[in-house]
A and B are shown apart, each in its own frame.
Chain A
Amino acid sequence: MEENSGIPINDNDCLKLEPKSKACPRPKPGEAAGGCAFDGAQITLLPISDAAHLVHGPAACIANSWESRGSHSSGPRLSAYGFGTSLSEQDIIFGAEKKLTRSIEYIAERFKPPAIFVYSTCVTALIGEDLDTVCADVSARLGISVIPVNSPGFVGSKNLGNRLAGESLIQYVIGRTEPERISAYDINLIGEYNIAGEMWDIERLLNRVGISIMSRITGDGRFNEIGHAHRAKVNMVVCSRALLGLAKRMEQTYHIPYFEGSFYGAKETSYSLRQMAYLLNDRDLERRVDRLIKREEARLAIELRPYRQILKGKKAVLYTGGVKSWSVISALKELGIKVVGVGTNKSTAEDINRIEDRVGEDVDYIAEGGAKSIIKAVKDRKADLMIAGGRNMYVALKEQIPFVDINQERHTAYAGYDGLLRLAKQITFAINHPVWEMVERPAPWDVGGDR
């Protein structure tokens, strides 16, 4: 896929380091679902909230996509601005590199951001706009970072876009600035996007044992801070498939060990904390982590008790991608919920192995088919609940299936110990809501007659 994408990937080793999954299959016209590579690149980079994000392309690419993600910022809001070059017919015929240059200058002058990310799109890739040169020129002239993101929609899936965005971070951001102070307990979070403020919960936990986050890649991230990433002692990859390559590259270049983990569920959270302490190689820290885990798990057990009683034995179908397809299973198991169906269309072979480890034999794998197949699984297995992304929410509601949103547009944070409690509450609420009784209530005039 990458070979014919036309995107310069100078380092061939990088390709070998990608997860051992099949090459991205060609999406099937007429039944493809999911976003494009441009979407993926934005998901990864937009959370860098003090940078400007400029889309070089037709109006629709920016107009239909901005302000659509649940990533939160604790400070700057510049990334909430939608910037686009909105190409005209003239631009397309005669080239738009001058317009792009003027656009970058305008944003730099008016908003004074530390960096501007410039995204290519299908159209600008097709007419051969030279983003790299334009960005390098303006960057040298203005003295701010102007970073090309070569991830036009038509090169592939959202996932490839995540990876290409990681490529831009490696090439242009990481290692470019030095932190004021470093400690032996600095880590990076990679692939955590602070959806619904989840990162804040995680950060509080880490701070309690004395671990600090050097770079947030990229949830609630700041541009300069991401430049410091090479000084961290450990990388944790939170969303396995998308940015694993980035962690592997950093291991090679900066000798930073990494591990893949998740914060969904108490078990996974505890594992991640222990793994972090182990890689930071500090006995004292390990003891602190153990104490924290013991305390938190004990507290959680008490608080979860009433929910576990309600949720025990309930059946759920899970339809999400990547890390969440296995990590959420863990969380659900802790609540006593049995996962009877799992979507695997966005999971790697490795993800699927992990799913198998966690669910055992008695589960339906939904590899493709979209909404129709998920509903079939729910009906066949008599599931009580569907857990998926917002895309499938209304499909579930129409079928009167209780639903919990797990993807990037959701409003509730599920990471960490408190997150598991929130998830338990949310699921209980979804299953027990009186609305299910109301919608089943026939209109009184329909009762007892065929009319």
Chain B
Amino acid sequence: MTVKHTMKPVSVNPLKIGPSLGSVLALQGCYRGMAILHGSQGCSAFSKSLLTRHFRDTIAVQTSALQEMDVIFDTDRNLEEALNTVITKHHPDIIGVIGTELTDVAGSDYPSFVKKYTRERGVKNCLIIPVILPDFSGSLESGYNAMVEGILDAVIQEEGCKAPTKQIYSQVNLLPGSFLTAGDIAELKEMISDFGFEVITIPDISTSLSGHLLTGFSPLTRGGVPLDSIRQSLRSSYTIAVGSSMERPARRLQNAVGIPYKVFHGMSGLRATDELLLFLQQLSGASVPQRYRWQRENLLDSMLDAHFHYAGSSAVVALEPDHLMSVGSWLGEMGVEIKALIGSCETALIRETEQEVWVGDLDDAENLGNGADIWVSNCHGRQGAKRIGASFLSAGFPITDELGSYMSVSVGYKGAMNWVNKVGNLLIRREEARNESRLC
């Protein structure tokens, strides 16, 4: 029990992102998908705009456009109209119906409505997945997980909850957590397939939000894992979940169709990558490819080079829970003193960890992180970092004021080396600034 909360009546510079946005993000990793936010049109406009600015790409999301009278009388009518329009106009393979705080408070039972709609309309070739998301209890991470679980649940139901007759031994599932970038997921897929596995990634934003030049406008997602592959995932021999929050969907697969799973809590740094590669070696029986042996040496060497600059440095980190713990453990490897770890919401992982973790906002980061050399958070933290004179390193979501953050890699030995150097360089600049200020 090391979770701490600050006593403020009001959230100042929120760290939290709406869970419904997390669900929209997860759906972007499914091919020919469309998210429908069941709420006022602002709910989808804000999500769309924020995701667009982060990924610098189009985002597939629509709205049921609830207005006051709809909320009072009948929200189902709007949802029906939205589903009709989206299905007849765009023919998606997969639709996520994502609730908002508004539908939650209005008490609308849209999961039942979706069931009825699917049955009565005889909707074929399109999976409609309702997700319930009370806004007050979670953040981006929980909304993302709920959608992944919803997707898996839907294909499990389709199969009648039976274990498939034939398992494919060389096929594994990858359930990447919400904090992994498109670049991270591509790297993980490559690492796993280097051990001879076919990888099904659910969801897979590395093929939808990594940037492409496909012409021919479509409001649906233009990449991601196809529905057929999601169905195929039930025949995989193993599930690899990255991020503690991905344990629930992985466990759902195990309970329903008997696929064993392993959860990797984080993916940053030497130890985390060692753990993954050792596991892949044991699972496949193949030995670790030469390139990773090289990369490991490179990483260790860069850590040696950098460690002088890390001496005596400190950091404050404010991120989504899984990401927070992952980055926190990497900072530990580099001997960085942690001023404070601040998570956007309380999760099982945060409750169980031995470290002290705060649940709060970026204003808390400013107070608790006073004197820190490095500030790690999404781009909203830039103003606070400046105020306390910390060097800012962007991570998480959103990062709207930098190019290519959605492709930056922090996983694996290469990703770890990336971070060792990035943070090390920030520290070198600080040393310079300190020396200069001594001169005058």
Contact = CB atoms under 8 A, between A and B. Distances in A.
A322 interface: no
Given A67-B380, A123-B101, A59 B11 contact: yes
B42 A36 contact: yes
A398 B11 CA distance: 38
Contacts of A38: 42
B36 A30 contact: yes
A372 B102 CA distance: 30
A201 B36 CA distance: 42
A64 B397 CA distance: 11
A401 to B, nearest CB: 10
A6 B69 CA distance: 10
Interface string B1-44: 00000001111111011111100000000000000100111110
Contact of A31 (B19, B58, B89): B89
Contacts of B66: 122, 154
**B interface, by DSSP: helix, strand, loop or mixed?**
helix
Interface stretch (B74-82, B195-203, B294-302, B311-319): B74-82
A375 B21 CA distance: 27
Contact of A63 (B16, B39, B78, B82): B16
A390 interface: yes
B106 interface: yes
Contacts of A122: 39-40, 66, 71, 101-102
Contacts of A208: none
B85 A31 contact: yes
Interface string A57-74: 111111111111000000
A85 B75 CA distance: 26
Given A27-B67, A102-B9, A394-B57, A60 B215 contact: no
B68 A5 contact: yes
Residue of B8, B65, B379 most packed against chain A (CB within 10 A): B65
A80 interface: yes
B86 A30 contact: yes
Interface string B128-143: 0000001111010000
A59 B16 CA distance: 7
A375 B217 contact: yes
Interface stretch (A11-19, A86-94, A242-250): A86-94
A30 B9 contact: no
Contact of A30 (B48, B62, B379, B380): B62
A127 B104 CA distance: 12
Given A30-B81, A67-B380, A62 B11 contact: yes
B82 A30 contact: yes
Contacts of B10: 54, 83-86, 102-103, 106-107
Contacts of B67: 26-27, 154-156
A394 B101 CA distance: 29
Contact of B383 (A27, A80, A375): A80
Nearest to A376: B217
Contacts of A156: 67
B105 A81 contact: no
B50 A64 contact: yes
A29 B82 contact: yes
A153 B42 contact: yes
Interface band, chain B: 35 or more
A395 interface: yes
B49 A68 contact: yes
Interface in A25-55: 26-39, 54
B52 interface: yes
Nearest to B42: A36
A126 B102 contact: yes
A99 interface: yes
Given A81-B12, A155-B68, A156-B67, A371 B105 contact: no
B217 A399 contact: yes
Contacts of A439: 213
Contacts of A65: 46
Contact of A394 (B56, B64, B105): B56
A400 interface: yes
A291 interface: no
A60 B84 contact: no
A309 interface: no
A253 interface: no
B62 A27 contact: no
Interface in A151-187: 152-157
Interface of A: 4-6, 26-39, 54, 57-68, 77, 80-89, 91-92, 99, 102-103, 105-107, 122-123, 125-127, 152-157, 370-372, 375, 390-391, 394-395, 398-400, 409, 439
27 contacts: A29-B79, A32-B62, A33-B45, A35-B45, A36-B41, A37-B42, A38-B42, A39-B45, A59-B14, A62-B14, A63-B18, A64-B18, A66-B14, A68-B400, A86-B10, A86-B16, A87-B136, A99-B9, A122-B71, A152-B68, A156-B67, A372-B219, A390-B52, A391-B48, A395-B58, A398-B58, A439-B213
Q: Top 7 nearest A-B pairs by Cβ distance? A: A36-B42, A60-B18, A30-B85, A103-B10, A30-B82, A29-B82, A102-B9
